[in-house]
């Protein structure tokens, strides 16, 4: 690419003016434009990204259609990789990084730099580089419990035989873990024990003896912070929700769940709950219409700390945003009445995700705040999952019906704890800003 005179002038002036900062902030891209740029190669720069972000699914016997471990395996997919990665469709992580909160415990996206590395590599013809640079293969420990040895393990009563080449299936399998007394969960994990490659993804719901239910975080292991947990009452049933994607050959599969508990009699100060929001039956998606918007609200009657957000819609859905409308007077209201939390900018029905906020980014919301969920739909033929755009679609359980909801996992705080946690958060962010600005000054 030839730089125009203007470009060059701009760069010169820019570099001269902000040299000390610009070099450290944009050094990479400035250097990238000089001809001596070292090549991005598979063995040196690309494999580490694939090991960290792709191979969990893209390896033999895992759920993705192809393995992405060796150069020979990856090379034929270079173009497809560039497309999926730059559209932020792979790895499956659909949070818009430019809106609201971007710190998650289970963060699964790529950074801008990682995306740029892959794109640059593909555009340069996907060179292999020096085989000697290849790092040792990544290890995946499918068989261990990441939460440590569970005290209670419950498995599916019998294996599920998944016939070759069938359509995708959604199965709900109810299990009785046989708990005879109330306990509080410190950590929980679900994992396939056989036939991992047909389990596209899985979730669990607890059905309490009183009939109420709570969807739990689905991603692998979930360990609660000390002093917080989730209740598992005697007689609680567990429902495994499995999205099954048949493989080329008949496959036997099974899933189990393991729990670690707090000691008997111990009640954690904070007990996580999961509630649905937006389970409205009035959803109205006219035929052949795009960008249909649906709004749902949930009033928080007590101060609340939000732990996880799990959007749930069906095949017509395209996007969803979550924001908090703060009451007139609140600790955090620095002139903003609406606090954007997150947006899913391309919702994919095939990937029901649970986004777990990192400790220091869990939204802290005062009593009286309102969670506002905005869902968008595309009920036209341009939506590749839409098999019948001439049909009106409303609320319903079947996957050809639709929904506009999210599972919110949270715990309530006392007014006093809430004020204290907000103050701690503010002090911390002030500290970070001060550190940053003093760094800038000394540079
Ligand atoms: C959580 C599991 C998972 C992770 C992590 C993941 N993938 Fe995938 N990937 C899949 C599955 C399942 C499919 C097939 C279904 C689909 O397309 O959604 C797929 C499909 C793809 C495709 C399309 C294949 C085709 O036939 O054209 C590409 C390309 C791809 N993945 C690249 C990547 C890259 C690159 C990464 C890492 C940066 C990655 N994936 C991370 C599960 C995953």
Domain ranges of the chain: 1-36, 38-133, 152-268, 273-416
CA nearest ligand 1 atom 7, residue:
91
CB distance 54 to ligand 1 below 6 Å: yes
Nearest CA residue ID for atom 31, ligand 1: 90
| pLDDT confidence of residue 1 | 39
Roughly what angle, to the nearest 10 degrees, separates helices 112-123 and 78-86?
A: 150
Q: What is the pLDDT of residue 256?
A: 92
Low-confidence ranges of the chain (pLDDT < 50): 1-35, 443
The structure's pTM equals 0.84
- Give the pLDDT score at 23: 36
Which long-range contacts (C-beta less than 8 Å, at least 24 apart) are formed by 123-129? 123/82, 124/39, 124/40, 126/42, 126/74, 126/75, 126/78, 127/39, 127/40, 127/41, 127/42, 128/41, 128/42, 128/43, 128/71, 128/75, 129/39, 129/41, 129/42, 129/43, 129/44
Q: Is 48 in the pocket of ligand 1 (CB under 6 A)?
A: no
**Per-residue pLDDT tens for 240-289?**
988 888 888 999 999 999 999 999 999 999 999 888 898 778 999 999 99
**Choice from 84, 89, 109, 219 to test ligand 1 binding pocket (greatest atom count within 8 A of CB):** 84
CA of 30 to the centre of ligand 1 (A): 32
- Atom 14 of ligand 1 has which residue's CA nearest to it? 64
Could you tell me the distance, in angstroms and rounded to a whole number, from the CA of residue 63 to the centre of ligand 1? Answer: 9
Q: How is domain 273-416 classified at the CATH fold level?
A: Jelly Rolls (2.60.120)
Atom of ligand 1 nearest to the CA of 350: 18
Q: What is the pLDDT of residue 259?
A: 94
Same fold for the domain at 152-268 and the one at 273-416?
Answer: yes
pLDDT for 143 = 83
Domain spanning 152-268, CATH architecture: Sandwich (2.60)
Any atom of ligand 1 within 6 Å of the Cβ of 63:
yes
Measuring from atom 3 of ligand 1, which residue has the nearest CA?
57
Residue to mutate (ligand 1; options 57, 85, 118, 191; most atoms within 8 A of CB): 57
Whether ligand 1 lies within 6 angstroms of the CB of 201 is answered as: no
Distances (CA, A) of 77 to 67, 82, 111, 188, 206: 10, 9, 20, 36, 40
Ligand 1 midpoint to CA 349 (Å): 15
């Amino acid at each position: 690419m030839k730089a125009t005179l203007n470009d060059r002038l701009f760069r010169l002036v820019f570099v001269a003016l902000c040299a000390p900062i610009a070099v450290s902030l944009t050094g990479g891209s400035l250097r990238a434009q000089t001809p001596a740029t070292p090549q991005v190669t598979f063995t040196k720069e690309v494999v580490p990204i694939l090991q960290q972000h792709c191979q969990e699914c893209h390896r033999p016997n895992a759920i993705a259609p192809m393995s992405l471990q060796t150069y020979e395996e990856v090379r034929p997919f270079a173009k497809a990789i560039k497309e999926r990665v730059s559209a932020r469709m792979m790895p499956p992580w659909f949070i818009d990084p430019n809106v609201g909160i971007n710190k998650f415990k289970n963060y699964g996206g790529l950074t801008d730099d990682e995306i740029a590395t892959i794109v640059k590599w593909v555009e340069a013809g996907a060179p292999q580089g020096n085989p000697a640079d290849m790092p040792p293969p990544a290890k995946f420990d499918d068989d261990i419990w990441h939460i440590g040895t569970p005290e209670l393990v419950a498995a599916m009563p019998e294996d599920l035989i998944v016939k070759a080449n069938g359509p995708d299936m959604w199965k709900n399998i109810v299990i009785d873990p046989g708990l005879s007394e109330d306990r509080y969960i410190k950590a929980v994990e679900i994992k396939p024990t056989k036939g991992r490659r047909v389990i596209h993804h899985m979730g669990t719901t607890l059905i309490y003896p009183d009939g109420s239910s709570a969807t739990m975080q689905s991603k692998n292991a979930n360990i609660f912070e000390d002093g917080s947990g989730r209740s598992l009452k005697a007689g609680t049933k567990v429902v495994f929700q499995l999205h099954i994607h048949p493989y080329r050959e008949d496959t036997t599969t099974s899933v189990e769940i393991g729990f670690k508990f707090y000691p008997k009699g111990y009640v954690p100060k904070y007990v996580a709950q999961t509630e649905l929001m937006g389970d409205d039956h009035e959803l109205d998606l006219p035929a052949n219409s795009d960008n249909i918007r649906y709004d749902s609200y949930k009033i928080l009657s007590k101060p609340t700390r939000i732990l996880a957000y799990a959007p749930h819609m069906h095949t017509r859905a395209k996007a969803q945003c979550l924001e908090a409308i703060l009451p007139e007077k609140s600790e955090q209201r620095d002139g903003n009445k609406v606090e954007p939390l997150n947006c899913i900018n391309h919702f994919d029905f095939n990937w029901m995700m649970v986004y777990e906020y990192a400790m220091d980014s869990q939204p802290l919301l005062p009593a009286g705040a309102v969670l506002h969920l905005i869902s968008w739909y595309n009920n036209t033929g341009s939506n590749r999952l839409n098999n019948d755009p001439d049909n009106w679609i409303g609320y319903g359980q079947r996957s050809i019906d639709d929904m506009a909801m999210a599972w919110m996992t949270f715990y309530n705080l006392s007014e006093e704890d809430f004020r204290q946690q907000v103050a701690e958060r503010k002090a911390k962010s002030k500290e970070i800003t001060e550190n940053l600005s003093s760094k800038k000054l000394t540079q």
